[in-house]
A = this chain, B = another copy of it.
Amino acid sequence: MHKVKYSIGQLAKESGCKVETVHYYEKIGLMPEPPRTEGGHRVYALPHVKRLTFIRRSRELGFKIEQIKDLLKFIDEPNHYCGEVRAMAMQQARTVQEKINDLERLHSALNDMVIQCKDSNNSIDNCPIVDSLFTKKATE
């Protein structure tokens, strides 16, 4: 199942990205410039597949490109320890938790609004949702 050479299309498929995304990652220096065929087509190998998979998974976990660059630096350069990566993962977990909290506040605000607005045949002038959106948040 593991090939030795991959076209860009195969690389993309294997790692779950689009071809354009690979081009983009190459342009911003996240993926290396691979060897080419005579005709100029990119030729990849297994390490490329792994690297791109790493990138895609990290993106799914909400890491920003710049953070991924840092993670890859740890991995590319020898003499690094797990602790640095662990710290980044913990920080990321905190960031995600904050986003969850924000969204939950938002979700209950929306639900409150919907509950307030029992009579859908109300004219728009009396709609409690519209009303509450015209109101400022904290200070007046």
A interface vs B, CB < 8 Å?
A: 1, 15-16, 50, 53-54, 57-58, 60-62, 71, 74-75, 78, 80-83, 85-86, 89-90, 92-93, 96-97, 99-100, 103-104, 106-107, 109-111, 113-114, 117, 119-124, 126-127, 129-130, 132-137, 140
Contacts and interface: CB of A to CB of B under 8 A. Distances in A.
Contact of A81 (B78, B100, B120, B140): B120
- Chain A interface helix/strand/loop/mixed: helix
Given A133-B57, A137-B57, A93 B81 contact: no
B60 A120 contact: no
Contacts of A121: 81-83
Contacts of A100: 100, 103-104, 107
